[in-house]
Chains A and B, each alone.
Chain A
Amino acid sequence: MGRAKIPRKSTNIDMTAMCDVAFLLLSFFILATKQKPPEAVAVVAPSSVSSKAAPEKSILITLTKEGKVFLMLGDDTKKNEILSDINTTRSLGLSQSELAKLGKMSFIGMPLNTLKGLVNLSQPLPPDKMEGIPIKDSATNELVDWLRSVTNAYKGTNQKDLENILLVKGDNDALYPDFKNIKYALKKNELYKFKIVTNSESAPPGSELYNINKSGKSAEGETK
């Protein structure tokens, strides 16, 4: 019996369509996303119903789970001003080249007296090895000094501008007293308004805020 012969088909598939899809997705992701900003250490921020986006250029105070505090200074021109200011006010005795080296570090997380030694290390210290800016008690709260230099550098500009870029990012499991010490340092420098970095979450259904949002009115204020 003549059996119907199945013709051998080529297994080659036309890849053009697939290629199109891949590159379409690729361009979407390139355009729609942003590179992660450098992070001193991994910090899981708490969530809040606040829907305002965090500013990009910022002076960021990071509080880790272990209670270490890191400071990230915003843009470069101000950064150099801040660094030279703290150099003179706390008489750290850093030379110009050492200041420049310090400026290249993306964040600061060491006690002031070890600053000089750390800058001159041939291998930069990884952030998880740093001990953080001391804040534990009010007499040696070095964040106060740092923030004083920050306010000095921003003197002359609108206070609001500084308040807008002042961010505090804390880990979920950081202890409250550490946060209180950060607040103390801010208040000491008459910085009463700042922002806290959070992950956004939606208002729980049925709550007051949910109803307000639904009715189209914006929620009155933020906090306090």
Chain B
Amino acid sequence: MAEMDTSSGGGHKKGPGVKKPKKLSTRVDLTPMVDLGFLLITFFVFTTTMSKPTAMNMNEPKDDPDNQLKVKNSGAMTILLGKDNQVYYYMGELTAEGASDQFKSTNFKDIRQIILDKKKGTPIGDLMYIIKADKESKFRNAIDILDEMQINAVPPGHYAEVDINEVEQLLIRKTEEANGIK
């Protein structure tokens, strides 16, 4: 390590006329340099991001009251997003008398299979998923369900986000109460 050669001169007997070149050590203490290096590494690790955020495309439909899309009852599945990451769904159209039978609750884990079953059992032309988010659902839920569509390779144009109506909101409240979700 860094050592100064201080032994020069002292007590050395040089022969007359013999000039010995002084040997200086070329070694430098690198410890502080290593310290500095690792300090900078830590700094860069903490201040930078390795993974770039990705972006998901959103394509909102134009609001056009004259040009409403008609959906076949047999091919429609309505997915409702409630609070506490709960998912509710029903097939076709909600009827007044059969609402409690049609209306089912599930969660994000099981909805994948339900979406897939529906996709397999319906001719692609009739297939339509209607996504409605309740006012107490979270942003994550809305993204997750769109993501679920991608995971199940539902072709674009076969699912859409629609505003929730009061009947459905009421049903969600009722089911939440029955299931003890606060």
**Which of A's residues lie within 8 Å of B, judged by CB?**
12, 15-16, 18-19, 22-23, 25-26, 29-30, 32-36, 45-55, 63, 167-180, 183, 186-187, 192-200, 203-204, 207-210, 212, 219-224
Residue B173 at the chain A interface, CB threshold 8 Å? no
A54 contacts B30, CB within 8 Å? Answer: no
Closest chain B residue to A222, Cβ basis: B57
**B contacts, CB < 8 Å to A:** 1, 29-31, 33-34, 37-38, 40-41, 44-45, 47-63, 81, 112, 116, 133-144, 146-147, 149-153, 155-157, 159-161
Known: A198-B53, A220-B153. A35 touches B139 (CB 8 A): no
Q: How far is the CA of A176 from the CA of B161 in the complex (A)?
A: 12
Query: Is A176 touching B134 in the complex (CB atoms < 8 A)?
Result: yes
Q: How far apart are the CA atoms of A87 and B123 in the complex, in Å?
A: 54
Q: Is the interface of A mostly helix, strand, loop or mixed?
A: mixed
Chain B: interface secondary structure? mixed
> How many angstroms from the CA of A160 to the CA of B160 in the assembled complex?
22
**What's the Cα separation between A179 and B62 when bound, in Å?**
17
User: Do residues B63 and A187 form an inter-chain contact, with CB atoms below 8 A?
Assistant: yes
Q: Considering the complex, give the chain B residue whose CB is closest to the CB of A170.
A: B139
Contacting residue for A224 out of B30, B58, B62, B137, CB 8 A: B58
Scoring B45, B53, B112 by chain A CB atoms within 10 A of each residue's CB, the highest score goes to: B53
**Judging by beta carbons under 8 Å apart, are B141 and A194 in contact?**
no
Determine which of B29, B143, B155, B161 lies in contact with A220 in the assembled complex, contact meaning CB atoms within 8 Å. Answer: B155
The CA of A183 and the CA of B139, in the complex, are separated in Å by 12
Residues of B within 8 A of A172 (CB): 138-140
Which of B55, B59, B138, B155 has the most chain A CB atoms closer than 10 A to its own CB? B55
Give, as a whole number of angstroms, the nearest-CB distance from B116 to chain A.
Answer: 7
- Residues on B with beta carbons closer than 8 Å to the beta carbon of A47: 147
Are A173's CB and B56's CB within 8 A?
A: no
The answer to whether A203 touches B151 (Cβ under 8 A) is yes
CB B55 to nearest CB in A, in angstroms, measures 4
B60 touches A176 (CB 8 A): no
- A36-B47, A208-B116 are contacts. A15–B31 as well, Cβ < 8 Å? yes
Chain B positions within 8 Å of A180 at CB level: 133
Whether A54 lies near B55 (C-beta < 8 A) is yes
Residues of B contacting A196 in the complex (Cβ-Cβ under 8 angstroms): 55-58, 143
Residue of B nearest to A53 (CB): B52
How many angstroms between the C-alpha atoms of A12 and B150 in the bound complex?
60
Complex: how many Å from CA A204 to CA B144? 13
Q: Which residue of B lies closest to A172 (CB)?
A: B140
| Closest CB in chain A relative to B174 CB, distance in Å | 20
- Complexed CA–CA distance, A179 and B147 (Å): 16
In the complex, the answer to whether A54 meets B52 with C-beta atoms within 8 Å is yes
Instruction: Please determine whether A209 and B60 come into contact, CB atoms closer than 8 angstroms.
Output: no
Q: How far is the CA of A55 from the CA of B54 in the complex (A)?
A: 9
Which of B30, B52, B62 contacts A19, CB < 8 Å?
A: B30
Contacts of B60 on A, CB cut-off 8 Å? Answer: 183, 186-187, 192-194, 224
